[in-house]
């Protein structure tokens, strides 16, 4: 039984992290057609926010709670800066944006190395997350449950924002038809900026969860970003429900592969799975039919 | 007309390419004879140039910077004391950038461009393996200060860290003396852990210790959750940890998170030292580590070393095994050169056997045969101050045996 | 001047430029550079060979290939396996297999004892891999950013696979300690120069190949596919096939570059072929001018040189330079520095008009 439950539960937690990382990606990808390769660095920024917060507020029980909103704002501001300074100059050049953000990601990683050093700065977990609960032979850490709750909260918040607020309506209008939205009086530039802020901020929140797993290091984002992109590709662009299903599918599949073979082979197998899946559904799980997107 | 001109141009182009090729290959005619370039080392003046090649950028920079610091300290002390054979050391420093190919490139620059008499540095096995052919081809000298997986002995390298029979095998002896029956192996997916575990598995069979699991995670991957779940299930008496670098933090966190601890399945590590122990994100009090030097080693030389180091770099800086081995390597080089009365590589090699130095870890002696040094093995238990209390020792220095020729159970061709 | 003569000169200009580069690399450089610097230049040339292919696929074909390290690695490892077996002698097996494994050689190594097989494999392996991958991707009309991300994921996976198969490929350490190159002692300076010259010759050859491709009908179709894929399809061509050919040629060039990199650098390891290495390859192409004939090669040579020089003077700042290079060049000079004269001229024309 535990051979079945362990990867399932551990994989769900990994999937939750991928989900938080992918939410921002799919949002900006769907809305602006922008691939932000520096998105992983927003995870890293979130993790370092958690670390710095803990240096100031040494009580680990409190500092994590403080770090969550802080990470959202800090990573969001970095995202906003990126949008204003770089990305807004190159809409309609999606491949070039991708490469420019690769450059930004290199700069941010080196910046983190210069400020914090190359090796992991550990964030101490709060005592209310220490411990675990036995589920069919797997000592399921509270920390993993917390990650899942966090991801679902982020998802719920985002879905509510999109569905019930006027701003959400503007986002959806922009995604579906940018020109038409603009003629209806939606300032798509402003919408873009806020979307970028929210997407990057969510990655920052994800970074706090990542900081609880291992050491906080400058390359932390790299480990998640490729998987998060695979999630976006497999889920279909701009689609929340596709992203959710794909995130948990990729997380759980990787955990099972890791259980059967090794952590390295699991990466290889997951990639093969996504490529095979794209043979069946080249546009991902779900697609929106629009005129605005290629 | 146009067609034929195109064809003409194409023809010319490929003819040109062909001609270039022939000319390229022609350069090889005089090839076969003539070996590598002669040594360009010049020690006729009152200084001697030595190369310090450590990664000051990239993933390994924090670790390798500590080695660089202790090399600089040793250089300063030796220079203040009159230098090597009366010649002041002049260091040429280079950055290996945590990349094996760069290490190979830079050591070639140091040996053939800067003409240094010897190079000190390297950390990962990958960097040493990359430098080895270059230092051999140029008949240079490299002093490598880190414990490693053994099974190597180059005429042109001196290994001042432990080989496996001075760290891994004593650690197994310690485990056996503790009555260990079951052992779980956790390592990074990398050369050192793979080779170390191959040795551990064979010796465990000899000692009657059962290996109840073996897991590897890529070097840059921090998530050990799934693998630690297997440790929980296997309930081993001990966990042998050969994880490298920052991945240790993820392992330690997952280990405590899933309810393991020093009282149930203690960990013995070979890469967690004074520097790393306080940076695990969870207290590791009560866990073990196998090294040849701890800051807590109680000798007058060590007290002097710690004082000199902390005077130079700050009182909060701990000293660790690779730092001590690097510090020792420069003093050993000085001792060999002064015995040989020459900086020439062949003279140095001829004189090196039996040269010893009263190092912070205790007296170490060079084995001229395999260029390793005899060292005492220590097992430390981490205390609340993140220092190591020595709980076991080999008492006397162990002769280096990189190829494990003296161990009948060792079969290099077995799985 | 006679208009026909002008046309002839203009037509020959690329050839003259290639010839000038050939003289520079094959005659001037060996005569003036020290053996160590020449060897470094050899490495940049290997990256430049791969860059020429990227120029074809990305500059002309619009396919942002972010995983060329994979093909660089296929060639590099194929060559390294041969050199390793050459060093081990007939019957011998590479040293690391005894160190990390059980001392038996995996079957797929055996054919690489043959030099001829290795040379064929360097061209065929990447061609087959690129065909399968390209077929799967292009036929399903996966393109643009999706394609870029998949190729980068491939590079990550490839490096992970190499690191995990330590007994078969040497893992993280990669393959090194080669002694001879098809019978020629690799530590002899004369032979080193020969290996360098072969690499430089191959770069010139690759430039001639793309020069010919760019002037052919295929070259025009490729650009047409980049700019308006649907229209090409309506004209009765299958864009998937056109892109596939460019992708396969680019892969083969990367492989040739990798194959020469192994003997010149004396090592090939996962860090030479992973996602970061792939991005490094693109940097030169972006700098030099992705759609130009000589842009990618010259860009790659510059970036390679910059990496050595800057990392010698400012070890930690090098990454900033590389990162900012992407940002500044692509933001301000998307056609690359090589296209600067034309960009300036057209800007001038616009301002005077």
Residue A278 to chain C, least CA–CA distance (Å): 8
Report residue B254's pLDDT band, with 50, 70 and 90 as the boundaries.
Answer: very high
Cross-chain CB nearest to C166 (options B27, B28, B194): B194
Determine the Cα angle at C109 with ends C108 and C115, to 5°: 120
Task: Please report all neighbours of C, defined by 3+ CB atom pairs within 8 A.
Answer: A, B
pLDDT at B379 over 90: yes
pLDDT digit string (tens) for C66-122? 999 999 999 999 999 999 999 998 888 898 887 777 778 999 999 999 999 999 999
Identify whether the C-beta of residue B257 lies closer than 8 Å to the C-beta of residue A130: yes
Identify whether the C-beta of residue C55 lies closer than 8 Å to the C-beta of residue C285: yes
pLDDT digit string (tens) for A77-94? 999 999 999 988 887 788
Neighbours of C87 (CB within 10 A): 18
CATH number, domain A2-280, options 3.90.820, 1.10.1400, 1.20.120, 1.10.3470? 1.10.3470
Question: What is the reported pLDDT for A93?
Answer: 83
Residue C323: name the closest of C306, C339, C340, C338 by CA: C306
Stronger pLDDT, B108 or C353, i.e. the higher one: B108
Instruction: Report the range of poorest mean pLDDT among A14-18, B288-292, C98-102, C296-300.
Output: C98-102
Structure tokens at C193: 């120069």
Instruction: Report the range of poorest mean pLDDT among B87-91, B223-227, C212-216, C313-317.
Output: C313-317
Can you give the residue ranges of every domain in chain C?
A: 3-270
- Residue B40 touches chain C, beta carbons under 8 Å: no
A264:C319 CB<8 A: no
pLDDT at B328 over 90: yes
B226:A10 CB<8 A: yes
Mean pLDDT across B230-238: 95
Report residue C316's pLDDT band, with 50, 70 and 90 as the boundaries.
Answer: low
Report residue C315's pLDDT band, with 50, 70 and 90 as the boundaries.
Answer: low
Identify whether the C-beta of residue C42 lies closer than 8 Å to the C-beta of residue C251: no
Report residue A288's pLDDT band, with 50, 70 and 90 as the boundaries.
Answer: low
Q: Which of residues 146-185 of C touch B (CB under 8 A)?
A: 160, 163-164, 166, 171-174, 176-178, 184-185
- Residue C197 touches chain B, beta carbons under 8 Å: yes
- Residue C334 touches chain A, beta carbons under 8 Å: yes
Distance separating the N- and C-terminal Cα atoms of chain C? 27
Specify the length of chain B in residues: 415
B226:A139 CB<8 A: no
**DSSP of chain A:** -HHHHHHHHHHHHHHHHHHHHHHHHHHHHHHH----TTHHHHHHHHHHHHHHHHHHS--HHHHHHHHHHHHHHHHHHHHHHHHHHTGGGGTT-HHHHHHHHHHHHHHHHHHHHHHH-SSPEEPPPPGGG--EEEETTEEEEHHHHHHHHHHHHHHHHHHHHHHHSHHHHHHHHHHH-HHHHHHTT--HHHHHHHHHHHHHHHHHHHHHHHHTTSEE-TTHHHHHHHHHHHHHHHH-TT-HHHHHHHHHHHHHHHHHHHHHS-HHHHHHHHHHHHHHHHHH-TT-S-----SS--
Would you say the C-alpha torsion A193, A21, A124, B288 has a positive or negative sign? negative
- Residue A217 touches chain B, beta carbons under 8 Å: yes
pLDDT at A58 over 70: yes
Structure tokens at C310: 């800057």
Question: What is the reported pLDDT for B32?
Answer: 34
Cross-chain CB nearest to B412 (options C39, C103, C212): C103
- Residue A213 touches chain B, beta carbons under 8 Å: yes
Separation between Cα atoms, residue A45 and residue A71, nearest integer Å: 7
Neighbouring residues of A19: CB distance < 8 A, sequence distance ≥ 6: A151, A154, A155, A231, A243, A244, A247, A248
Residue B415 to chain A, least CA–CA distance (Å): 18
Q: Which of residues 216-275 of C touch B (CB under 8 A)?
A: 265-267, 269, 271-272
| Angle, in degrees to the nearest 10, between helices A188-211 and A39-56 | 60
Question: What is the reported pLDDT for A289?
Answer: 53
Separation between Cα atoms, residue C30 and residue C38, nearest integer Å: 7
Exposure string over A69-99, b if 16+ CB within 10 A, otherwise e: ebbbebbbebbbebbeebbeebeebbbbbbb
- Give the whole-number percent of chain C exceeding pLDDT 90: 65
Q: Which of residues 123-142 of A touch B (CB under 8 A)?
A: 123-125, 130-132, 137-139, 141
Separation between Cα atoms, residue A65 and residue A58, nearest integer Å: 12
Identify whether the C-beta of residue C60 lies closer than 8 Å to the C-beta of residue C214: yes
Cross-chain CB nearest to A226 (options C146, C156, C320): C156
Exposure string over C5-39, b if 16+ CB within 10 A, otherwise e: eeeeeeeeebbeebbebbeebbeebbeeeebeebb
Separation between Cα atoms, residue B65 and residue B54, nearest integer Å: 7
Phi, psi of C138 (to 5 degrees): -70, -40
**DSSP of A21-32:** HHHHHHHHHHHH
Question: What is the reported pLDDT for A282?
Answer: 76
Contacts of B279 in chain A (CB under 8 A): 119-122, 215
Pairing of strands C180-181, C184-185: antiparallel
- Site from B223, B248, B280 to mutate, A interface, most A CB atoms within 10 angstroms: B223
- Site from C102, C172, C174, C316 to mutate, B interface, most B CB atoms within 10 angstroms: C172
Stronger pLDDT, A3 or C81, i.e. the higher one: C81
Q: In chain A, how long is the greatest CA-to-CA distance?
A: 59
Report residue A118's pLDDT band, with 50, 70 and 90 as the boundaries.
Answer: low
A119:B222 CB<8 A: no
State the average pLDDT for chain B.
89
Report residue A64's pLDDT band, with 50, 70 and 90 as the boundaries.
Answer: very high
Question: What is the reported pLDDT for B22?
Answer: 47
Separation between Cα atoms, residue A9 and residue B88, nearest integer Å: 63
At residue C353, the 3 state secondary structure works out as: coil
Instruction: Report the range of poorest mean pLDDT among A205-219, B61-75, C180-194, C309-323.
Output: C309-323
Question: What is the reported pLDDT for B23?
Answer: 46
- The CB-side HSE value for B131 (13 A sphere, CA atoms) comes to 32
Separation between Cα atoms, residue B201 and residue B102, nearest integer Å: 34
Residue C62 to chain A, least CA–CA distance (Å): 9
Question: What is the reported pLDDT for C47?
Answer: 97
Separation between Cα atoms, residue A46 and residue A27, nearest integer Å: 19
- All structural domains of chain B, each given as residue ranges with its CATH number in brackets, are 47-162+300-374 (3.40.50.2300), 165-296+379-393 (3.40.50.2300)
**DSSP of C40-108:** HHHHHHHHHHHHHHHIIIIIIT------HHHHHHHHHHHHHHHHHHHHH-TT---HHHHHHS-S---GG
Pairing of strands B142-144, B157-159: parallel
Phi, psi of B147 (to 5 degrees): -60, 145
Phi, psi of C94 (to 5 degrees): -55, 140
Residue A136 to chain C, least CA–CA distance (Å): 31
Identify whether the C-beta of residue A17 lies closer than 8 Å to the C-beta of residue A43: no
Contacts of B35 in chain C (CB under 8 A): 185, 187-188
Q: In chain B, how long is the greatest CA-to-CA distance?
A: 92
Task: Please report all neighbours of A, defined by 3+ CB atom pairs within 8 A.
Answer: B, C
Q: What is the pTM of this model?
A: 0.90
- Site from A136, A208, A215 to mutate, B interface, most B CB atoms within 10 angstroms: A215
pLDDT at C263 over 80: yes
Structure tokens at C36: 């160590």
- Site from C20, C187, C274 to mutate, B interface, most B CB atoms within 10 angstroms: C187
Separation between Cα atoms, residue B169 and residue B292, nearest integer Å: 13
C178:B133 CB<8 A: yes
Contacts of A18 in chain C (CB under 8 A): none
Residue A133 to chain B, least CA–CA distance (Å): 9
pLDDT at C139 over 90: no
| Segments in B214-371 forming alpha helices (H) | 225-234, 247-257, 300-313, 321-340, 345-351
Mean pLDDT across B195-216: 95
The beta-carbon contacts of B274-278 under 8 Å, at least 24 apart in sequence, are B274/B318, B274/B319, B274/B320, B274/B386, B274/B387, B274/B388, B275/B63, B275/B66, B275/B318, B275/B320, B276/B248, B277/B382, B277/B386, B277/B388, B278/B386
- Give the whole-number percent of chain B exceeding pLDDT 90: 74
Structure tokens at C67: 């995983």
- Residue C320 touches chain B, beta carbons under 8 Å: no
Mean pLDDT across A172-192: 86
Structure tokens at B126: 């990958």
* H or E stretch at C249: helix C239-265
pLDDT digit string (tens) for B24-43? 444 443 333 334 446 788 88
Contacts of C200 in chain B (CB under 8 A): 20, 24
- Residue C282 touches chain A, beta carbons under 8 Å: yes
Torsion, Cα of B309, B313, B319, B325 (10° steps): -60
C164:B218 CB<8 A: yes
pLDDT digit string (tens) for B3-18? 444 544 555 445 554 5
Report residue A1's pLDDT band, with 50, 70 and 90 as the boundaries.
Answer: low
Residue B254: name the closest of A131, C311, C67, A116 by CA: A131
Structure tokens at A69: 């909103």
Residue B142: name the closest of B166, B113, B106, B168 by CA: B106
Residue with tokens 């700050």: B314
- Residue A273 touches chain C, beta carbons under 8 Å: no
Report residue A248's pLDDT band, with 50, 70 and 90 as the boundaries.
Answer: very high
Question: What is the reported pLDDT for B29?
Answer: 36
- Residue B22 touches chain C, beta carbons under 8 Å: no
pLDDT at C215 over 60: yes
Instruction: Report the range of poorest mean pLDDT among A207-221, B332-346, C65-79.
Output: A207-221
- Site from C141, C330, C334, C336 to mutate, A interface, most A CB atoms within 10 angstroms: C330
Residue B381 to chain C, least CA–CA distance (Å): 30
Structure tokens at A176: 């579906």
Cα C135 off chain centre by = 21
Question: What is the reported pLDDT for B35?
Answer: 40
Report residue C353's pLDDT band, with 50, 70 and 90 as the boundaries.
Answer: low
C286:A278 CB<8 A: no
Mean pLDDT across C118-140: 93
């Amino acid at each position: 039984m535990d051979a079945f439950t362990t990867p399932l539960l551990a994989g769900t937690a990994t999937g939750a992290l991928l989900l938080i990382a992918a939410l921002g990606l799919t949002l900006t990808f769907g809305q602006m057609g922008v691939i932000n390769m520096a998105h992983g660095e927003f995870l890293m920024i979130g993790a370092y926010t958690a670390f710095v917060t803990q240096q100031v507020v040494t009580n680990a029980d409190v500092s994590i709670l403080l770090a969550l909103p802080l990470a959202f704002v800090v990573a969001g501001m970095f995202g906003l800066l990126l949008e204003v300074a770089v990305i807004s100059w190159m809409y309609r050049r999606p491949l070039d944006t991708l490469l420019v953000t690769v450059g930004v990601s290199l700069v941010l990683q080196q910046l983190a190395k210069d400020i914090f050093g190359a090796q992991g700065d550990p964030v101490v977990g709060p005592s209310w997350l220490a411990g675990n609960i036995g589920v069919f032979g797997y000592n399921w850490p509270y920390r993993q449950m917390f990650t899942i709750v966090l991801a679902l909260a982020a998802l719920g918040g985002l879905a509510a924002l999109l569905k019930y607020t006027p701003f959400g309506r503007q986002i959806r209008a922009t995604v579906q038809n940018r020109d038409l939205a603009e003629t209806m009086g939606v300032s798509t530039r402003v919408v873009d900026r806020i979307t970028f802020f929210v997407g990057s901020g969510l990655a920052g929140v994800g970074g706090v969860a990542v900081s609880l797993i291992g050491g906080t290091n400058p390359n932390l984002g790299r480990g998640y970003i490729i998987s998060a992109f695979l999630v976006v590709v497999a889920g279909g662009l701009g689609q929340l429900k596709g992203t959710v299903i794909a995130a948990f599918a990729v997380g759980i599949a990787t955990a099972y592969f890791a259980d059967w073979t090794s952590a390295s082979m699991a990466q290889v197998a997951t990639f093969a799975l996504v490529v095979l899946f794209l043979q069946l559904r080249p546009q991902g799980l779900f697609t929106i039919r629009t005129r605005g997107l290629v | 007309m146009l067609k034929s001109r195109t064809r003409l141009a194409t023809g010319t182009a490929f003819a040109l390419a062909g001609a270039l090729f022939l000319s390229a290959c022609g350069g090889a005619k005089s090839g076969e004879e003539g070996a590598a370039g002669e040594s360009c080392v010049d020690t006729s003046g009152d200084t001697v140039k030595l190369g310090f090649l450590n990664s000051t950028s990239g993933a390994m920079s924090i670790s390798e910077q500590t080695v660089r610091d202790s090399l600089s300290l040793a250089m300063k002390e030796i220079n203040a004391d009159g230098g090597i054979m009366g010649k002041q050391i002049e260091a040429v420093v280079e950055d290996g950038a945590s990349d094996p190919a760069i290490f190979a490139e830079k050591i070639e620059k140091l040996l053939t461009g800067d003409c240094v008499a010897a190079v000190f540095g390297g950390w990962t096995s990958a960097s040493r393996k990359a430098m080895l052919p270059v230092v051999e081809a140029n008949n240079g000298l490299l002093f490598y200060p880190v414990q490693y997986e053994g099974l190597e002995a180059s005429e042109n390298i001196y290994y001042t860290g432990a080989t496996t029979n001075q760290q891994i095998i004593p650690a197994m002896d310690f485990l056996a003396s503790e009555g260990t029956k079951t052992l779980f192996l956790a390592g990074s997916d990398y050369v050192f852990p793979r080779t170390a575990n191959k040795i551990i598995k064979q010796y465990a069979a000899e000692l009657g210790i059962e290996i109840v699991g073996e897991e590897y995670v890529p070097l840059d991957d921090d998530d050990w959750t799934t693998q630690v779940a297997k440790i929980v299930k296997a309930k081993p008496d001990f966990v042998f940890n050969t994880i490298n670098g920052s991945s240790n933090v993820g392992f330690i966190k997952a280990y405590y998170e899933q309810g393991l601890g020093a009282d149930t399945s203690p960990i013995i590590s070979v890469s967690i030292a004074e520097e790393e122990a306080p940076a695990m994100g969870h207290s590791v009090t009560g866990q073990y580590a196998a090294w040849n030097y701890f800051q807590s080693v109680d000798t007058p030389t060590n007290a002097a070393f710690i004082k000199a180091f902390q005077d130079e770099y700050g009182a909060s800086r701990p000293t660790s095994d690779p730092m001590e081995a690097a510090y020792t390597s420069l003093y050993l080089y000085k001792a060999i050169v002064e015995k040989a009365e020459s900086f020439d590589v062949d003279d140095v090699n001829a004189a090196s056997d039996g040269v010893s130095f009263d190092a912070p870890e205790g007296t170490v002696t060079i084995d001229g045969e395999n260029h390793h040094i005899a060292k005492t093995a220590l097992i430390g238990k981490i205390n609340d101050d993140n220092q190591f209390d020595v709980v076991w020792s080999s008492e006397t220095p162990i002769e280096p045996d990189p190829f494990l020729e003296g161990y009948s159970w060792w079969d290099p061709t077995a799985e | 001047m006679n208009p026909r003569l002008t046309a002839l000169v203009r037509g020959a200009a690329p050839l003259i430029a290639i010839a000038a580069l050939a003289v520079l690399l094959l005659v001037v450089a060996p005569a003036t550079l020290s053996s160590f610097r020449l060897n470094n230049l050899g490495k940049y040339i290997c990256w430049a060979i791969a860059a020429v292919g990227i120029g074809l696929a990305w500059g002309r074909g619009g396919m942002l290939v972010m995983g060329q390290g994979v093909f660089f690695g296929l060639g590099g490892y194929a060559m390294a396996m041969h050199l390793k077996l050459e060093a081990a002698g007939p019957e011998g097996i590479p040293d690391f297999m005894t160190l990390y494994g059980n001392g038996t050689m995996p079957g797929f190594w055996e054919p690489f004892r043959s030099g001829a097989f290795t040379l064929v494999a360097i061209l065929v392996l990447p061609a087959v891999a690129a065909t399968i991958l390209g077929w799967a991707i292009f036929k399903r009309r996966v393109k643009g950013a999706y394609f870029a991300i998949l190729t980068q994921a491939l590079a990550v996976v490839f490096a992970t696979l190499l690191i995990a198969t330590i007994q078969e490929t040497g893992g993280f350490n990669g393959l090194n300690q080669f002694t001879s190159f098809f019978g020629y002692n690799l530590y002899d300076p004369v032979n080193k120069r020969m290996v360098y010259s072969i690499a430089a010759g191959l770069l010139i050859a690759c430039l001639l190949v793309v020069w010919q491709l760019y002037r052919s009908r295929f070259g025009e179709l490729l650009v047409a596919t980049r700019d308006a894929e649907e229209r090409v399809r309506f004209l009765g061509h299958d864009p998937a096939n056109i892109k596939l050919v460019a992708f396969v040629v680019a892969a083969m060039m990367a492989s040739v570059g990798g194959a020469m990199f192994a003997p010149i650098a004396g090592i090939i390891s996962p860090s030479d072929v992973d996602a970061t290495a792939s991005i490094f390859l693109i940097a030169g192409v972006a700098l030099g001018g992705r759609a130009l004939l000589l842009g990618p090669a010259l860009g790659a040579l510059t970036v390679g040189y910059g990496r050595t020089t800057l990392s010698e003077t400012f070890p930690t700042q090098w990454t900033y330079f590389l990162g900012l290079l992407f940002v500044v060049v692509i933001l301000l000079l998307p056609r690359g520095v090589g296209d600067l004269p034309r960009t300036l001229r057209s800007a001038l024309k616009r301002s005077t008009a």
